[in-house]
Structure formats: structure tokens, C-alpha cells
Amino acid sequence: MRAIDERPDPVQIIARVGTGFPAEQPERAIQVWMHLAAKAGWDVSRVEAGSVDLDAGERGIVDVEGLRYLVRRGRRVRRTLYDDSEGRPSRRPVFGFAARAGRVLSAESTIP
């Protein structure tokens, strides 16, 4: 387990999920993100209460040691696509899917 001062902030945790195809297991995004947050030393749990907009890429709300974060899935990380559709192999950069978390601000979680 990491020392508290060495842990990355939850908003800095980026989980690569999938190869770039939109239909790939979108639920896996929150699972992988939670795993990486726990591996980084955070106590993280899923919050069942709260609505999310799945069409907008939102995957769920998590509680990280008393603060809530919204986990989103979207094209966020660089990947290399290997393509042979033109008869010869070529490589090109594309954006692949990743999960990331953003703060859910409330009156209790902000300092006046």
C-alpha cells in the first residue's frame, strides 16, 4: 500500500478500457477505474444512489474516502490503429476509450 502523500489524486487516474469500439462493455469502465483507484491506495466504493446519463458517457458515481466522483467513459487516450484495408499494412494514431473521474461538488465538499 502506498503512503497517503504518494497517492495520485483520483482525477489523475486514467483507466484504458477497450480497443476503441463504442460497443465494448461500457460497464467495465467503472470497474477498471475503481480497481486502479484501490490499487493506488484509495478506499473506493460504488454509490448506487444517483442518476447518470449513460448516453453522455457517464458510468456511475463512486465514493473515494468521503468525496464523490462521477466516472465517465470516452475517447481519451492515444492508441495505434493497424490497418490493412488498402492492401498494405499501415499504422495511424487514434483515440481509444478510457475511464476517468471528475469531482461531484456539493455544499458539504467545498470550502467557503
Question: Rounded to 5 degrees, what angle do the CA atoms 58, 42, 72 make?
Answer: 10
Residue 70 lies inside a defined structural domain of this protein:
yes
Number of domains in the chain: 1
Residue 93 lies inside a defined structural domain of this protein:
yes
**Strands, sheet with 44-47, edge to edge from the N-terminal-most edge strand:** 15-16, 90-103, 67-83, 58-64, 44-47
- Residue 11: is its pLDDT beyond 90? yes
Residue 55 lies inside a defined structural domain of this protein:
yes
Q: How far is CA 33 from the centre of its chain?
A: 5
Q: What is the pTM of this model?
A: 0.77
Enclosing domain of residue 57: 11-109
- Residue 55: is its pLDDT beyond 60? yes
Residue 20 lies inside a defined structural domain of this protein:
yes
Q: Mean pLDDT throughout 68-89?
A: 86
Q: Which grid coordinates belong to 48?
A: 448506487
Provide the pLDDT for residue 31: 92
* pLDDT tens digit sequence for 99-110: 999 999 876 656
Residue 2 lies inside a defined structural domain of this protein:
no
Residue 27 lies inside a defined structural domain of this protein:
yes
Provide the pLDDT for residue 48: 83
